[in-house]
Amino acid sequence: MILGSALDIMQAGRPPRMTFLDYPLGHSAGKPGDKAEQLDVVRTALQGLESFKDPEQFATLPYNWAENEDWKQNATDTSSGDQRQPRDETPQYQFEDDRLRAEASQNA
């Protein structure tokens, strides 16, 4: 079971089960200091171990980081001097065998 807040990265890894929380990176188990929410997030994600029946099945948790979606724009705003480049969507592999296995599984 993967619990995370980077849906595209989780899906690219193709785990057998995953639970997505639409929060900023680094907050995959809930808001800092909110023990009740953190416990609920983890418990709900773990329920997927029993309830998910299909390969690569996932759930999206219904929590909201803020009252609106402005935080998403702020998280990707580079006007403050952030020099990170956009995510490179090209698959990268440590070994040639890894690339071959990945391509074979996509064609299966």
The confidence score (pLDDT) of residue 87 equals 66
Burial 20-43 (b: 16+ CB within 10 A, else e): bbebeeeebbbbeeeeebeeebee
78 or 68, higher pLDDT: 68
Judge contact between 28 and 5, C-beta under 8 A: yes
Rounded to whole angstroms, how far apart are CA atoms 37 and 39? Answer: 5
**Which stretch of 30-39, 52-61, 73-82 has the lowest confidence by average pLDDT?**
73-82
Instruction: With a cut of 80, say whether residue 53 has pLDDT above it.
Output: yes
Return the DSSP state at 61. -
Return the DSSP state at 29. T
| 76 three-class SS | helix
Instruction: With a cut of 90, say whether residue 21 has pLDDT above it.
Output: yes
The confidence score (pLDDT) of residue 59 equals 92
- Phi then psi for residue 60, to 5 deg, are -110, 125
Specify the pTM: 0.66
